[in-house]
Amino acid sequence: MGSRRGLLLHIRQTMDCECSLYSSRFENLRVDARKADDYAKSLHDRHLHLAISDGVGGWGDTVDPSLFPQVLMYQYSQRADRRPSSHPRQIVEEGYEGVIKAEEVPAGGATICAIALDGEGRLRGVK
């Protein structure tokens, strides 16, 4: 239960922050293999999207495990901003396709959990 409380606190603290990776060409990607996780948020037309992603390590020195989740969360936020009423599953799938096409990410993997809350109070999610 302590970890859930810590995650909720982290989300509340970061809701008003901007990720350093929000750029059209990924030039601001953080390269820090010790922190292979990231998040996305979007609030448009009374639709709130929140997503968190944790990069899969174990690539050794060949792949930075932080790049995959960073680009995935960038892709998620861009798509959620454009189509806020979309189901998180659809946004994750399209975001994944965007990561696969990104030359900045030679390989990698991540877990992801995403939720969307619409103006009517309906909560949808994907893990």
Whole domain around residue 39: which residue ranges? 2-126
Q: What is the reported pLDDT for 34?
A: 52
Residue 29 contacts residue 102 (beta carbons within 8 Å): no
Whether this prediction's pTM lies above 0.75 is answered by no
Structural domains of the chain, count: 1
Convert the pLDDT of each residue in 25-62 to its tens digit. Answer: 344 444 444 567 899 999 988 999 999 999 988 876 78
Q: What is the reported pLDDT for 25?
A: 38
Distance CA 45, CA 63 (A): 38
